[in-house]
């Protein structure tokens, strides 16, 4: 799956705020997405997934509309 930032996923991982207790389920993102790298994010809430399918099995069924829209 190619993202709007020009990366292929896989081999590049995707990330999701799996451990963020608010507003679940959250979409999965390219690791370079502004939602992932903005200063107010808490790195401890984010988890890496090797594939899109792995992120979806973890409950992140939809992609970020900026990354993959």
Residuewise pLDDT in 10s, the chain (69 residues)? 999 999 999 999 999 999 888 877 889 999 999 999 999 989 999 999 999 999 999 999 999 999 998
Question: Which structure tokens are listed for 21?
Answer: 């207790």
Whether the Cβ atoms of residue 60 and residue 27 lie closer than 8 Å to each other: yes
Report if pTM > 0.95: no
Provide the β-strand partners of residue 16. 47
Whether the Cβ atoms of residue 30 and residue 7 lie closer than 8 Å to each other: yes
């Amino acid at each position: 799956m190619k993202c709007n930032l020009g990366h292929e996923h896989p081999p590049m991982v995707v990330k999701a705020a799996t451990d963020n207790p608010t507003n679940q389920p959250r979409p999965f993102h390219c690791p370079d997405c502004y939602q992932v790298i903005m200063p107010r994010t808490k790195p401890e809430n984010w988890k890496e997934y090797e594939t899109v399918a792995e992120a979806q099995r973890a409950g992140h069924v939809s992609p970020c509309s900026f990354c993959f829209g």
